[in-house]
Chain A
């Protein structure tokens, strides 16, 4: 699905990540871990095509516009006067016509996605009035609408209660079973150990052969 060859991600020719050599298979679920400033978000943005790699190659087996992208909540203008329903409908925009109209079947799809994240009752609420966990659930609903074979998620569980984490993790597991490839930036070690079979760490770059970060495969604890 995705191969990094001598890849270094960064801004304006300044590398932020270590040199990365790794390959993510289709249908894999990988945690992207590393200390603050190790370049996790920068790597995700590079994969999504938002910034160019400083060095090396980032090869994808799908067009970039097919990527399902979930930014950190802090990067959203939550005070913009949208409703939750409209926010989720952004997910089907790539399939809409010239004027961005939403068909009856898309409306049903949006309702189903809101049901899946238990946010149907909030469809007329505005993002600014939601808690962090509620907003995150809404962003998951938008992601479901995108029907993307590759999901990139930037710290989706930051500052969220454990009940919501369990709900969202179950969605991720369902997606993986349906064949979606997942790359998730995480800080929470126990969460990584419990749910993720593959870990791409940007921390121990220096310890690996040829100063590279690579995917470590582990067997799940339970």
Chain B
């Protein structure tokens, strides 16, 4: 009872939980597709790429979630598009071009934030402030989650086909392969923007990728992997928030740390290839 007490008693705890659940439902399916397409680190790169946009938004209007969100979205999309274009038109592979752009982007972001802000502001942008999620931020996260699920339903089949047999998708011509890829990366950026309102740019990718990577150890079927990833992310959110309340830990990192614990547990005990099940 004492464990769920804070959620009953305090609005900010309830808002934090709802924001995390919305993120869990919309970001983890993207994480599953990223990991299945061997693009796990692209999420990480894009989360860094969001930073200079968020910083410019911050420089213009202070700690305004809308300004920082829009800035982050533009910066993330720009890096995704530029990296895609460079890997398409030059011999550089996509992971290398992403690495190049995100490192530059991260350095620019940190420079911009420190132009005006204090280190406290920088920490806010990097690690978020889960317990300070207000109603407008919650609405934004909810809207992004709803949009993501709808878009994902539309591009689900082409995404699967692109991952399994890319030439089939291209030969069909019903969906252009770069469009599917572009829409998918746009959803990733959108969710990172939603995530950084809550968990910060560095932590948001944790809730996207850790449950997704864990889900591989619990199911061999795509649909179940998606569901498992969502459930694990929601569990991580609840456990993380409880731990943060009980032990006065920073909430965002506590949630991601819980997801990491579930990840290690999955590696050990997961029925599909977990270490303990093997021997």
Contacts and interface: CB of A to CB of B under 8 A. Distances in A.
Interface of A: 45, 48-50, 64-65, 67, 69, 71, 75-77, 80-83, 86-87, 90, 93-94, 96, 98-100, 126
B167 A71 contact: yes
B246 interface: no
B278 interface: no
Given A76-B164, A76-B165, A93-B157, A81 B225 contact: yes
Given A81-B222, A98-B154, A65 B165 contact: no
A50 B169 CA distance: 10
A176 to B, nearest CB: 21
Given A64-B171, A93-B172, A80 B153 contact: no
B14 interface: no
Interface of B: 36, 153-154, 156-158, 160-161, 163-165, 167-168, 170-174, 219-222, 225
Given A49-B171, A82-B222, A77 B161 contact: no
Contacts of B167: 45, 48, 50, 69, 71, 75
A94 B172 contact: yes
25 contacts: A48-B167, A48-B171, A49-B170, A65-B171, A65-B173, A65-B174, A69-B167, A69-B168, A71-B165, A71-B168, A75-B165, A76-B165, A77-B163, A77-B164, A80-B160, A80-B163, A90-B157, A90-B161, A90-B165, A90-B168, A93-B157, A93-B172, A99-B156, A99-B157, A100-B157
Main secondary structure of the interface of A (DSSP, over half): loop
A94 B161 contact: no
Nearest to B157: A100
Best-surrounded residue of B153, B171, B174 (most CB of chain A within 10 A): B171
A82 B165 CA distance: 12
Main secondary structure of the interface of B (DSSP, over half): helix
B172 A50 contact: no
B222 A65 contact: no
Nearest to A78: B164
Contacts of B219: 81
Nearest to B224: A81
Nearest to A68: B171
Given A50-B171, A75-B165, A94-B174, 8 more contacts: A65-B172, A69-B168, A81-B219, A81-B220, A81-B222, A90-B164, A99-B156, A100-B158
A90 B164 CA distance: 10
A140 B154 CA distance: 27
Contacts of A49: 170-171, 173
Contacts of B163: 77, 80
A50 B153 contact: no
Nearest to A83: B221
B173 A87 contact: no
A77 B221 CA distance: 15
Contact of B171 (A69, A80, A83, A87): A69
